[in-house]
Amino acid sequence: MHEEALRMMTDMLSGLDLHNASVLDVGSHAGMGSFKPLVESLGWAYVGLDLAPGPGVDVITMHPYEYPFDDGAFDVVISGSTMEHVQALWLWVPELYRLLRNGGWLAICTVMSWELHRNPLDCWRIMPDGMAFLLHRAGFQYFQIKHVGDKDIRALAYKGEDLRCPELLSTPS
């Protein structure tokens, strides 16, 4: 995770009015920093998930598109500086959706333009229209996508029909 990813995630999460939330961080290996202090500063419970052991990883999964949690297990799912390393995004985003409870939030930070950085793979640069397509295809009805600078993109998505914070999100076009 780079410094801008932490700023983007802080902006998205601090705008949510949640209490005692459970948060899953997908791609949590903290080789370059962790969202755990941010999540815990909000008073939320943190679980870090990754494909390999390391700092910030609480749960290791062998399957990149099927995680060992029940449907609707989390109030918030976050992922920063990970999406560009996922081979099959069309499988990954629906899995993140599955893990959210109804009324839950997904927050993703990734890159639109960045140098090659295999870890162990570097597969994608995500454009706003591509992000909107992936979110809508997974089932999200409400989401907000923002450019941050000239290299980064962030997405905040809501799972459910009873949107309580309409000022945060808009329907896809």
Q: How far apart are CA 155 and CA 145, in angstroms?
A: 4
Convert the pLDDT of each residue in 116-169 to its tens digit.
777 788 989 999 999 999 999 999 989 999 988 889 999 999 999 766 655 555
pTM over 0.85: yes
Domains with residue ranges and CATH for the chain: 3-15+33-110+126-158 (3.40.50.150)
Dmax (CA) of the chain:
40
CB atoms within 10 A of CB 41: 11
Convert the pLDDT of each residue in 31-85 to its tens digit.
778 999 999 999 999 999 999 999 999 999 999 999 999 999 999 999 999 999 9
CB atoms within 10 A of CB 104: 24
Identify the pLDDT of residue 113. 78
Convert the pLDDT of each residue in 71-124 to its tens digit.
999 999 999 999 999 999 999 999 999 999 999 999 999 998 777 777 788 989
Pick left, alpha or beta for residue 165 (phi over 0 → left; psi -120 to 50 → alpha; otherwise beta): beta
